[in-house]
Structure 1
Amino acid sequence: MPTPAHRRLILLRGAPRETQTAAQVLLTGLPAEGVLWVGGDHPQALPVAQVRRRLGESHDAVVLDGHGGLDPDALGRCHGFVRGGGALVVCLPPQGELPQGWQPRLVVPPYTVADVGDRTQRRLAAVLAKHAGPATAGAPPDRTTRGTAEQAQVVAALRQAWAQASPTLTALVADRGRGKSSALGLALQGQDPAKVMVCGPQREAVAEVLRFAGRPLPFATPDELILGDRRPRIIVVDEAAQVPVPALQRLVHAHPQAHLAFATTTHGYEGTGRGFVLRFLRWLADQGRPVARLSLSEPIRWAAGDPLEAAVFDALLLDAEPAPVTGTVDPAACTHEVLDRAALAANERDLRDFFGILVHAHYRTTPGDLQRMLDAPNLRMHALRHNGRIVAASWVALEGGLGPDWVDTVYWGRAGVRGHALPETLVCHGGHREAAALRIVRSVRIAA
């Protein structure tokens, strides 16, 4: 049963101006600063490309304009901005029409916009419509954040680590909305600001940490901490997965005497969060110092069983898992298929099996990869099937076959050719002009 702390998904259909007006009317009862507009031509709209820079913020409502194409990565990030009791409002074209204008992002020569598929846009529209609630105004969200026993344990563990005389390493990972940033801020309460540094990819990313700390604390980017001469006793890095792993490694080496705490969101697969866990934490564990690993699983910014979270997980396959396999699979007992992508998009079990394999094998997998996989004209999907289930996946790109005009452009360094990494390398760096005409199949992802 819905609770006041559950978040809502609202789907508005119509022309861009119609849906924008409808969203404004719907959200009239909310303060303007509590609503984040993403995409579209609203005067305060945040460009979709900048959404990643706002991770860590909380809003009463987010309006995501999808008339120019519903961006899977933006959808995955925007839902995490909505606090409990709030709403994600998605604006789409009228029923029966698909978003237009996004297709050039997937075009590579010699293909054209007409060759780009629309399977992902159809999927997102259908799944969101299935989960959407009524387009009615709700009560303003309660902005009071109530902690959980689990969060209190994390705060206590951080304070205990920072009270030690010897420097400590701590890693905190959690899905969106679990109170990671607020836990960091609460743990920093009472610490001497002169001995603390809050760090992140940009100040906006650590806004919640600073808010819950209850007092002004100094902020620095990783580069500023690596290159500067400040030597804080406690360094807290929030949204650490947004920082390149080499920079995090240099930060560890630059501050051997500091208590270092790294926190990040590992929301579904969403790429960088898994990279942080698989690459950085593995490296950190090999440095000869103990690493305390903390986690948060219980939602704190919204209630458990949140309808909006369920909708986004369903739409973007954030909970995709490989097919269960018992024992060792004999390759001779498998059948190879070149998957028809229209059939794959229509078969939820096959789609989840295939994508789940890639998600668990490749930490850089993002929601945007789902769109490339289903719709990019230069890609092909291969699979091995065992007992009716997909147990191995391969994603390849078709490259080469370029004409003389492209050869001269690449050879003389005037421009690269998108989607043709191997021919471009052979022509530009190897001097093999004839390589541009070759038909090449490049492996993008392969996993079992």
Structure 2
Amino acid sequence: MKLDFEKYFEDAKLGYYRIMVIIQGDNALDNTIQLVQQYLEKNKESKIAYAFHPWINGSKNRLNQFKEKIGKIVDIDYSSSEKYLGETFNVVILDAIDDFRPNYISRLTDLASGGGLIVLYSNDISRGKLYKESITRDGKVKDLFEERFLSLAKQHRGIAVIENQEVFFKPFNSSESNKPLKGKNSAKISKAIYSLCVSNDQVKLIEEFSNFFNLRGKRIFSVTAPRGRGKSAGVGLALAEFIKKRRDPITVYITSPSYFSSYSILDFLLKGLDALGIRYRRVISKEGKIMKVTAGEAIVRWTSPDLAKDANADMLIVDEAGSLGVEYLENYVSKWEKVALITTVYGYEGSNKAFIKFLDSLNQSNLQRLKLTYPIRYAKGDPVEKFINDVMLFEVEPSYSVQDSVSEIRQEDLFSNEKLLKEVYGVLVTAHYRNSPDDLMFLGDMPNQRIFAYGSSAVAQVLEEGNLAYEKIHEIYEGKELEGNLIPERIVKYARLKEFGLFKGLRVMRIAVSPSLQGRGYGSKLLQHIEEVALSEGYDWIGSSFLGDVKVLSFWLKNGFIPVYMASKKNEGLGGYSIIVIKPLNKQIEQLAKNLYSLLKDKILRTSHQVYFNINPIILLKILSCCKIEKKFEIPESYRDKILAYVNGILPYNSVAEAVHSILVKYFYLLPIHLDDIELGVLIARCLQGKSWYHLSIILGINQSKAEKILKDALGKLMQIDI
């Protein structure tokens, strides 16, 4: 079959926009090779990327066929594709024979430059795919995401769909796109740095960053932009410019969810230093990562988000800040004198509306904000960017209408009504700080899923779990994972409670309220309806699993849910500890939940200094204060005397630590009086977690010099009662 796209390739090059071709069918491989060969006839020096899963049988054979007929290709493993985010290619080939995953499609299409070609080829995007198998339950899975993907592809201009012998293509025209613009050289930055800028937006970023560097006092600088606007590159160039002009020693830390998220900053820092003729030294890890750059008396280094909380330097730059979560950001803003928060909006990292809401909550007099809009890798108006934005719903906005009723929505009805889909998905993504395109496929294709909506102001995604066969429970007990049964799996495996797996429940995977309507009780009303449905249909429990966050945990506790599990290891990818809460719907589960809570409380009280040292002490406080548990304790009289001696300044804290720990354990079991959150937070942080006065003052937002007085006052109150 002759795929004649020659004239469209020429127009794309003229207009600096990209063309995407989706090829399906038995001849997909041959058709893709033929199409790429046609592109290369007029673009011989093209840089080509090929993305696939190299470890799956047959995948390397397909790659080798491309290499034999096309030539040099950069092969990219989907699983580690994040490291290529800073690179640009003329041709990007996505092998979707083994996998068709929204995250990979969204990430890798962005590598193609203006005038380039993106080809996604597969025998059938709905069948035999790795990610889809992970959301298949009992042999069942839906195709709603794929059907919508192909339907929109056939409607969008500049996107071609080839299915066996049939071609669907609505051409795009170069007159509708605009190349990146850059005006006359700025008098505020060096000519060498200006020459590396691609757009006026980048020039403005460097100028404003220079102002931010030089302002005295506590300052926050935020840069937001859709992907492909050159924000990270601009920050790197701005650092190079600043190093050239700065005479005093300076140390700058860079952090991000992963090293590769901020690679472009370091890469363009080096390019900027080279252009300016500034000599530098690099410290490179065994994996080839640039960990530190020294230029004269300036030091720039990358560190992990956790270590950044305790680092001490002149400035902190946080790339993809919106993916870290509010707790990290609050810590950085509280501790650091100068913080630059850089993040993508409307991309595969999520809409980051929660990040924007966080910025709005800050002292605006200390905040300098910049938004970049002009793309640099391709023209403004690029049809591929529009298609990806539309098909992945990157720019979706929530509805703010309020209706006093709850409805259950079928997945088929949701994906056949674009307006309804946007309303529902808009609430889900804007109310959560961490989202990805995979969420949309999950919403459409995952079976055993129920969707409840309170008007269009609150939405809940609910999964059926439990009711497991004995052999499945035994497999979990022996360490085997069971997809789609998160809560039973964790409780059976880690709490060693086989019985729980026999009961059936509803896990609220995600519940969200439109940001402007939060705090009005809509989420609680939605939960109440789900509970009524669960009771009427004979379920044993309702539960949820989420990353430890004070506000989120408080919401679930307020609605009568009981903490029954907290992960012993931090999820580094998500940046937190998972917590499971359940609400019993019968007496059997009520007793099981009480036992599980007692075990969790005991674990926190015994191991916080080791297992939960890095968690926010207020999260531990919320869990420990949830329920009273009757338990007998004998506190030696000498312990009371030692504590009073400490309170009165006779003995130092380290001399009475065991006595304080003992009485604190008794307090959290019996909960005899109410101390305020700061008092209890200090007690937990210092006496259970073993944090220093310095660290607990930062995490709790209190003056370090007052921390010990708060501790003594709290202990004094405990000594006044019979505990």
**Aligning the two structures, in what range does the TM-score lie when normalised by the shorter sequence?**
0.7 to 0.9
1:177 and 1:74 map into 2 onto residues whose CA distance is 16
SS at match of 1:343: helix
Aligned to 2:272: 214
Stretches of structure 1 that go unaligned for 5 or more consecutive residues are: none
Query: Does residue 22 of the first structure (1) align with residue 80 of the second (2)?
Result: no
Tell which deviates more after alignment, 23-32 or 362-371: 23-32
Q: Which amino acid aligns with 2:148?
A: R
1:416 and 1:404 map into 2 onto residues whose CA distance is 15
1:196 and 1:129 map into 2 onto residues whose CA distance is 52
SS at match of 1:318: coil
**Equivalent of 2:500 in 424, 435, 443:** 435
Change (3 A) 1:238 1:430: closer
Aligned to 2:277: none
Q: Which amino acid aligns with 1:202?
A: Y
Q: Is the CA contact 2:345–2:352 (under 8 Å) kept in the aligned structure 1?
A: yes
Give 1:187 deviation, angstroms: 1.8
Q: Is the CA contact 1:171–1:261 (under 8 Å) kept in the aligned structure 2?
A: yes
Map Cα deviations across residues 3-31 of structure 1 (whole Å, 9 max, x no partner).
62222222333445324523541442254
Query: Does residue 424 of the first structure (1) align with residue 489 of the second (2)?
Result: yes
SS at match of 1:64: strand
Give 1:145 deviation, angstroms: 7.3
Q: Which amino acid aligns with 2:106?
A: G
Aligned to 1:78: 108
Q: How does 1:401-416 map to 2 (within 5 A)?
A: 401-411=467-477, 413-416=478-481
SS at match of 1:178: coil
1:26 and 1:231 map into 2 onto residues whose CA distance is 55
Aligned to 2:386: 310
1:349 and 1:233 map into 2 onto residues whose CA distance is 48
Q: Is the CA contact 2:98–2:128 (under 8 Å) kept in the aligned structure 1?
A: yes
2:225 and 2:507 map into 1 onto residues whose CA distance is 35
Identity %: 23
Q: How does 1:93-242 map to 2 (within 5 A)?
A: 93=123, 98-102=126-130, 103-108=132-137, 111-112=138-139, 115-131=140-156, 132-133=159-160, 147-166=198-217, 168-192=219-243, 195=250, 197=252, 199=254, 200=256, 201-202=258-259, 205-207=262-264, 210-211=267-268, 213-215=271-273, 218=293, 220-223=301-304, 226=307, 233-241=314-322
SS at match of 1:192: helix
Change (3 A) 1:250 1:359: closer
Q: Is the CA contact 2:261–2:320 (under 8 Å) kept in the aligned structure 1?
A: no
Give 1:247 deviation, angstroms: 6.3
**Equivalent of 2:341 in 258, 262, 268:** 262
Aligned to 2:445: 375
2:334 and 2:48 map into 1 onto residues whose CA distance is 41
Tell which deviates more after alignment, 395-404 or 59-68: 59-68
SS at match of 1:358: helix
Give 1:126 deviation, angstroms: 2.6
**Equivalent of 1:5 in 16, 23, 47:** 16
Q: Is the CA contact 2:229–2:374 (under 8 Å) kept in the aligned structure 1?
A: yes
Change (3 A) 1:197 1:445: same
Change (3 A) 1:249 1:81: farther
Give 1:221 deviation, angstroms: 2.9
Stretches of structure 2 that go unaligned for 5 or more consecutive residues are: 1-10, 54-58, 65-73, 161-168, 181-194, 275-279, 281-292, 294-299, 514-723
Give 1:348 deviation, angstroms: 1.5
Task: Choose between structure 1 and 2: higher helix proportion.
Answer: 2
1:351 and 1:247 map into 2 onto residues whose CA distance is 32
Give 1:409 deviation, angstroms: 2.9
Q: Is the CA contact 1:226–1:251 (under 8 Å) kept in the aligned structure 2?
A: no
Q: Which amino acid aligns with 2:463?
A: A
Give 1:229 deviation, angstroms: 11
1:56 and 1:242 map into 2 onto residues whose CA distance is 18
Give 1:355 deviation, angstroms: 1.1
Larger radius of gyration, structure 1 or 2? 2
Matched positions, count: 422
Give 1:369 deviation, angstroms: 0.8
Give 1:81 deviation, angstroms: 2.0
2:495 and 2:343 map into 1 onto residues whose CA distance is 41
RMSD over aligned Cα atoms: 3.8
SS at match of 1:261: strand
Instruction: Name which structure has the greater RCO, CA cutoff 8 Å, separation 6+.
Output: 1
1:423 and 1:18 map into 2 onto residues whose CA distance is 46
Aligned to 1:37: 50
TM-score, normalized by length of structure 2? 0.51
SS at match of 2:114: strand
Map Cα deviations across residues 173-229 of structure 1 (whole Å, 9 max, x no partner).
111122212321332233337746573532574236633752256263323994899
**Equivalent of 1:48 in 78, 81, 89:** 78
Q: Which amino acid aligns with 1:106?
A: I
2:251 and 2:118 map into 1 onto residues whose CA distance is 35
Give 1:158 deviation, angstroms: 0.5
2:31 and 2:504 map into 1 onto residues whose CA distance is 46
Map Cα deviations across residues 357-399 of structure 1 (whole Å, 9 max, x no partner).
21222222321011111111232222345xxxx5542210100
Q: Is the CA contact 2:210–2:242 (under 8 Å) kept in the aligned structure 1?
A: no
Query: Does residue 319 of the first structure (1) align with residue 370 of the second (2)?
Result: no
Give 1:55 deviation, angstroms: 2.8
Q: Is the CA contact 2:134–2:483 (under 8 Å) kept in the aligned structure 1?
A: no
1:384 and 1:228 map into 2 onto residues whose CA distance is 39
